[in-house]
Amino acid sequence: MSTPSTGDANALEATSLAKSFGSTRAVDHLTFALRRGEILGLLGPNGSGKSTTMKMILGILKPDSGSAKVYGRDVLTDPIGVKEVSGYVPETPQLYEFLSGVEYLDFVGDMYGMGPAAKKERISQFLRALELDGHENDMISGYSQGMKQKITITAALMNKPKLLVVDEGLNGLDPRSAKIVKDLLRELAREGVAILFSTHILEIAEAICDRVLIMQRGNLLAEGTPAELRRRAGMPGSTLEDVFLKMTGTEDLKEVVEALTR
Ligand SMILES: Nc1ncnc2c1ncn2[C@@H]1O[C@H](COP(=O)(O)OP(=O)(O)OP(=O)(O)O)[C@@H](O)[C@H]1O
Ligand SMILES: [Mg+2]
């Protein structure tokens, strides 16, 4: 396994990424960068292209045009290199449900070529931290949604990734577990891990993201720290939620609710 270059300040550079599905332009020439140790929130209404962007960055979906580099590794020419240094929490967990939690994580460790001692240490560290111990030998098919999410998060962190891509990763977690994961993400960022994080829960974005991108119809609508966006929207004392609703043109929700109840 080659070591990622350490010279670049940027962990991720996405340049003019574009992807269409038939006549739907899911991502429309999107350019942004993510620094080491930074948590970047990817916000946007349903269907605005967040998951598609993440999949292109990780080499899961091929862009129609544009490029993405992760620690200097081009996802088109070195997709394995990108996967070696990345962890991914997909929006829908895809687990082998007939395995136990420990068996699944052991399998993920094998895929990364980890040795038995490293796997064991990593698995027990996370099972304890995420309060899953006691259930590690039960079949995943019997896990609750939140327990499956915790296994998915642990799997993404098995290989000590330098870029972590989290697509709505707090889904299904109870408040205590969500807090543990938020603290874990901040700690990872402090250690230098770059984190791209999508969420619809704007309080979470506000609490943990250093910077946010707001997407709409595959385009970048706005970019900045939550405070900058509030200022730019002329709403300095408001929440990120108010700013988001204003920027995405959905602030007049009363009309929508009325239409639905008519
Ligand atoms: N495999 C696919 N086939 C066809 N269309 C797709 C596919 N994946 C995504 N799309 C379309 O691309 C657009 C962007 O989808 P994407 O999943 O990236 O949005 P999103 O911002 O992640 O939305 P959400 O907040 O609902 O998760 C949508 O119009 C979606 O219907
Ligand atoms: Mg999505």
Cα dist. 73→3, 15, 204 in Å?
A: 11, 13, 30
- Residue 210: predicted pLDDT: 95
77-116 pLDDT, tens digit per residue, is 999 999 999 999 999 988 999 999 999 999 999 999 999 9
Q: Is the pLDDT of residue 161 over 60?
A: yes
72-86 pLDDT, tens digit per residue, is 999 999 999 999 999
- Ligand 1 pocket test, pick from 17, 19, 48, 62 with the greatest ligand atom count within 8 Å of Cβ, gives 48
- Residue 112: predicted pLDDT: 92
Q: How many CA atoms lie within 13 A of 215 on its CB side?
A: 29
Strand-strand pairing, 211-216 and 39-43: parallel
Averaged pLDDT of the chain: 90
52 touches ligand 1 (CB under 6 Å): yes
170-183 pLDDT, tens digit per residue, is 988 999 999 999 99
239-257 pLDDT, tens digit per residue, is 888 888 888 876 666 666 6
Q: Which domains are delineated in the chain?
A: 10-85+161-226 (3.40.50.300), 94-158 (no CATH)
With H, G, I as helix, E, B as strand and everything else as coil, classify residue 72.
Answer: coil
Identify the residue whose C-alpha is closest to ligand 1 atom 18. 49
With H, G, I as helix, E, B as strand and everything else as coil, classify residue 40.
Answer: strand
CB 113 within 8 A of CB 158: no
154 touches ligand 1 (CB under 6 Å): no
- Residue 181: predicted pLDDT: 92
48 touches ligand 1 (CB under 6 Å): yes
Q: Is the pLDDT of residue 6 over 50?
A: no
94 touches ligand 1 (CB under 6 Å): no
% helix / strand / coil in the chain, to the nearest 5?
A: 40, 25, 35
Q: What is the DSSP string of 156-179?
A: HHTT--SEEEEESTTTT--HHHHH
Cα separation, 170 vs 89, in Å, equals: 10
Q: Looking at this protein, which amino acid is placed at residue 2?
A: S
248 touches ligand 1 (CB under 6 Å): no
Q: Is the pLDDT of residue 229 over 50?
A: yes
- Residue 24: predicted pLDDT: 95
The whole model's pTM is what?
Answer: 0.92
Identify the residue whose C-alpha is closest to ligand 1 atom 28. 47
Identify the residue whose C-alpha is closest to ligand 1 atom 2. 21
Q: What does the DSSP 8-state code read for residue 127?
A: H
